Structure formats: structure tokens, C-alpha cells
Structure 1
Amino acid sequence: MDNKAVACGCFKKYNKNTIEIKRMFVSPEARGIGLAQNILRELELWGHDLGYLFSVLETLYKQKEAIALYQKTGYTIVDNYEPYVGLDKSICMEKQI
């Protein structure tokens, strides 16, 4: 796509057993070709290789496509974790990796 970055994602340590997926994004012109799913899978594999057992993430309740992607890839909705406790627009999810 003209040597332009079109997708990204990262993770950070959440606790000793868990990574938190952050900054998942695919530009509109690059959606629908599996980039988000591939990035997510690679982040999970990387976390697993580093010894983490779980992956958590947060998204907004309005992000229906993101929620569907995460559920399709094995994430389940859980109670909001810190720092999202009490934020009714946040959806938190978790997966064993």
C-alpha cells in the first residue's frame, strides 16, 4: 500500500502471567484482508514465548467489528480490570495463550 504503514499492534506486561494487547489498528483501506487477526496472533505467540499465560485487552462497546474479531479469535468478555473498572463504555476481554 505504497510503502505506508497500514496496521499496528503491541502489548505490554499487565502482571506476571498476563500481557495486555494495546494499540490495535488497521487503516480503513487495508481492512478485511486479515491484518488484525495476523498481528493479534503474532502478539499472542510472542507473549507465550516470553512465558505469559494470558492476554487481556480493552475496547469500546461501540467497536462492534473489533469485539467480533476478538471473540472469533478466542477472547471472552470479562469483568473490567484496572484501570477500566467502573467505565461503562469499556469492554474487557481475556484469552489463555
Structure 2
Amino acid sequence: MITVDKADPLSSDSHSLIEKLSAELAAITGDSGKSNFTIDSVDGDRSLWVLARNKKGDAIGCGAIRPLTENIAELKRMFSDRSSPGVGKALLTFLETSAKNMGYTELWLETRYVNHKAVNFYMNNGYVSIENYGPYIGREEAVCFSKVLRD
């Protein structure tokens, strides 16, 4: 059983998962992803940091949303340590539902083409490729996705 709940992004569990994610991204893409994310960017009213935990209470995944516009939130720092099946889906479902409840109508995200697992995961969960936005404009290694949030 996997539970997902709002969490403190400054907790030791959060820090540990962020570091694991950054190391994995660096190994896959050559970039840790830290340059486009800071903990304080998920500190606002319409932002959210969550942790996924297994039945023993161990933190096994994380993710965040933060505002891009009034209606669009950005999905950031999605990570599963893959110790339990379904962690990514549980995180994504929780974050999508939370974004809808916060008044967002769409989620955007960026990953790298070379990160095949992430690209396939998002496509398999209803995300479609969009033009690169913000800091990803002109970055050929980046691929951006969007999903319209429906009831």
C-alpha cells in the first residue's frame, strides 16, 4: 500500500529523495535538474510538496506542483525509488487531483528526451508534447508535456 501526503520539503526524507533524484538525473541526462528547482519555489499558497510512503512508513517517492500561471501548474521533482510498484502513478494521481482542487486546469512539465522512462510514463498517463516553455525554450534536449485536468 502506498500513501501520498503533503510534506515538509525541508525534511530529511525530502532531502534524501531530492538528492537521489538529482543523482539519477545527472547519470541519465548529465544534468541534476537543480538549476530549475529550489525548495522555496514550492512554499507558496498554490504550491505543494508531497511524499509517497510504503506501508512501513518509509519515504519512497516525491513530487511537487508550483504555479506557472493562474490556470497552469508545473509538475516538478517527480521521483520514485522504484522499491514498490505504482509509486509514480500514486504520486501523479495525487498531484493532479490536488492541482484541480487548487483551481488549476492544466499541468505542464519538462523532462529530457534521453529519459525514456519518464517520457513513456507521462505519455502513458495522458500527457501530450507541447512547445518548450520558459527556461526550456531553445533547449533541444528538453521535451515539454501538458495535460488538461478534467473531472
Fold equivalence (TM over 0.5)? yes
Which structure is higher in strand share?
A: 1
Cα deviation, 1:3-58, whole Å, max 9, x if unaligned, reads 5321110110011110000000111434xx11101101110100101111000000
Could you say which residue in structure 2 is the equivalent of 1:92? 144
Q: Secondary structure at the match of 1:45?
A: helix
Unaligned runs of at least 5 residues, structure 1: none
**1:1-97 equivalence runs, <5 A:** 3-30=57-84, 33-97=85-149
Q: What is the root-mean-square deviation of aligned Cα atoms in Å?
A: 1.3
Structure-1-length-normalised TM-score: 0.91
Distance 2:82 2:98 in 1: 26
Distance 2:90 2:57 in 1: 19
Unaligned runs of at least 5 residues, structure 2: 1-53
Given residue 110 of structure 2, which amino acid in structure 1 is its aligned partner?
E
Higher Cα radius of gyration: 2
Which structure is higher in helix share?
A: 2
Structure-2-length-normalised TM-score: 0.59
Counting aligned pairs with the same residue, the percent is 32
Distance 2:90 2:67 in 1: 20
Given residue 4 of structure 1, which amino acid in structure 2 is its aligned partner?
D
Higher RCO (CA < 8 A, seq sep 6+): 1
Distance 1:37 1:28 in 2: 11
